[in-house]
Structure 1
Amino acid sequence: MRLSWQEIRTRARRFSERWADAHYEKGETQSFYNEFFEIFGVDRKKVAIFERKIDLIERNRRGFIDLFWPSVLLVEQKSAGKDLFKAQGQALDYVLGLNDRDLPKYVLTCDFQRFRLLELETRREIAFTLPHLHKHVEAFAFMLGVQRRHYGTQAAVNIKAAELLGTIHDALEEKITGAPTWSG
């Protein structure tokens, strides 16, 4: 059974407290993400791997994706204080080297204390710090298999719906009272 958002927020607060002093990429990344996935009740080992080798577009260059969940998430982890914009560029280079079937929907860059989550399709990005993780857990709904839907401007649809509701209201009132509510 899926965890409630309240439980996930509670777990995220505990995670933030536990990892408040984390800073070392090589020594803490795997434990950090195993516990991060547990916030959502997901066994990382069942869905994602660490240090996936990737051939880069540039000839004779290889890299390693810090954490990879095929077709879902690519993570580029850095030590605390490192440049996350540069890390995002590195992660996007890795995306270019993947097979189409493995292309992730999200790229996460993190330095333990700061997070940047980029949704590749929409280019929407959210950035926050570790102490505020609990306020942003719903941005990670994809970890639970929940898809976020994006809707464009709906003004015309809303206007038409309001007009139809008005027509229904007027028709019901006319039926009840026997007199039209307005003439136009």
Structure 2
Amino acid sequence: MARLARLYQIGKLLCVDPWSNQHLVQNDEQGMVDIVSAQVDADEALAVFEMNILPYNANHVNYLRLPSVDAATRYRSDTTVNTATFGCTDYSGRIAILHIDGNHSYHAASADIAAWSGLVLAGGWIIVDDYIWPYGDGPQRAGDEFMAAHQDKIDSAFVMGSALFIQLSSPPDGNA
């Protein structure tokens, strides 16, 4: 995504993740995801993320180590992000592509979409990852609910692979 954003000059990449074992709990129907997630070392996952993303940085990538809704509040108040690994990155406050792939519970997926979707530009995309997910229907219910509530602001919507792609004609809250 960082490479495409630079290639097409649509902005910078901001990644949001708490990298916290507490926030990995998905409450999946069978508990299989939660069992595996309990074995993850969140600090190690962050270090691996930083190593993988570092070659693409060039002042175009950074992250907020916060839960999604908290990060949206923080981003709305200050679009400058500073981390030890990537330094200082200034963002525009608007989003061309919003990729939702956080906690897969219905409530978390709905909260993520609500927190960030108002920042998506007209013509921009919301991607709800794992819309089709074998461990539950949280992202699907959240995506369907968003589309039903904002159908007058959607230019196009389709499922490819397991993700839902929604192109907006205007932001859900009327901004931009």
Same fold (TM over 0.5): no
Larger Rg: 1
Q: TM-score, normalised by structure 1?
A: 0.28
Which is helix-richer, 1 or 2? 1
